[in-house]
Amino acid sequence: MQITEELVSYVAQLSRLRMSPEETAEMQKQMSEIVSYMDKLNELDTDGVEPLSHIFNITNVLRDDTVAPSYAREDILKNAPEHTEETFVVPKTVE
């Protein structure tokens, strides 16, 4: 698969990342390396092999439906770049 500059910009836009032309070029190089490694894996014959859905062979890691205290609101908010006493603050996201 070809990792083009357009594709890198598109993925960056989906993630709301702003990148300089130099960063875009660097990303294009790194992502190409990752994807070509996938191509290497594709050389293997995987007919009849079940897709791996989790790296450990475990199922049903579950917890009981019991309420535990939530965090203090000031602790929840304190890492945010901007917040009021009650909520986070983000740029307006409505039409």
Please report, as ranges, the residues that interact with another protein according to CB under 8 A.
Answer: 14-16, 53-56, 58-68, 70-71, 73, 76-77, 79, 84, 86-95
Total length of the chain: 95
Residue 92 Cα to chain centre, angstroms: 23
Q: Nearer Cβ to another protein, position 22 or 75?
A: 75
Q: Which is nearer to another protein, 21 or 51 (CB)?
A: 51
First to last CA, the chain: 37
Q: What's 88's DSSP letter?
A: B
Provide φ and ψ at 88, rounded to 5°.
-70, 165
**Please, what is the minimum distance in Å from the beta carbon of residue 56 to another protein?**
7
Q: Which is nearer to another protein, 39 or 95 (CB)?
A: 95
In angstroms, the CA 22 to CA 94 distance is: 32
Residue 75 Cβ vs another protein, minimum distance, rounded to whole Å: 9
- Residue 60: CB minimum distance to another protein, A: 6
